[in-house]
Amino acid sequence: MEVVAGGSGDDPVRRLRIGLYVLALLLGCAVVFGGVLVQREHQDRQRAAADQERYGDVLDAARAEVQAFVNIDYTKAQESIDAVAAGATGDFAKQYDTSTKDVVKILTKAKSVMEGTVLWAGVVDSDQDSASVIVATSGTVANTSTGNKPVARQFRIKVDLVREGGSWKTSNVEFVG
């Protein structure tokens, strides 16, 4: 019995073509699936990099604000106050401005000097436009009530920040321990 081309389903050439077609289809699907996975990984890495950059910016802003907050010298009181005010916004800025009106006189009268450093800072909560950071400081305070001798002071401060005009500003400061 003779088999005519296109006649029987047992033709080895036809089976080979179907097999190659199925293989090409499977490879095409694998390439598309792999491309989707690569694209997702790329997006995840971009998102992670943006989150890390935001996280770093938040920490830098909180550290700078607290550093200004714990370093006040009566000989340059207005500079110290201005440094804190530069990083403040909203109700905190208004409250700080109102409460510092007589501070220069009080600092000068008490010959008050507070020096401190930020020991560590950690982000408690963060999203695209707001963040909360806990900052630990260590330092000293010297004034007339301490006999002008430095007395150790440690603060734990919660700093709430908001993104404003491309930078992070302090919207609230709260002593937490």
What percentage of the chain reaches a pLDDT higher than 70?
A: 94
Assess if residue 159 is contained within a domain.
yes
pTM above 0.85, yes or no: no
For residue range 115-169, what is the model confidence (pLDDT) as tens digits?
999 999 999 999 999 999 999 999 999 999 999 999 999 999 999 999 998 899 9
Q: How many domains does the chain divide into? A: 1
- Residue of 117, 113, 112, 110 lying closest to 154 (CA atoms): 117
Instruction: Please give the distance of CA 131 from its chain centroid, rounded to a whole number.
Output: 7
Q: Is 129 contained in some domain?
A: yes
1 belongs to a structural domain: no
pLDDT tens figures, 34-60: 999 999 998 888 888 888 899 999 999
CB-based contacts of 3, cutoff 8 Å, min separation 6: 10, 11
Q: Report if residue 164 sits inside a domain.
A: yes
Q: Is residue 139 part of a domain?
A: yes
162 assigned to some structural domain: yes
Is residue 66, in this structure, part of any structural domain at all?
Answer: yes
Domain range for 160 is 61-175
Mean pLDDT of the 85-114 span: 91
- For 149, phi then psi, to 5°, come to -105, 135
Asked if pLDDT for residue 3 goes beyond 60, the answer is no
Q: Per the domain annotation, does 3 fall within a domain?
A: no
CATH of the domain at 121: 3.10.450.50
d(CA 160, CA 70): 17
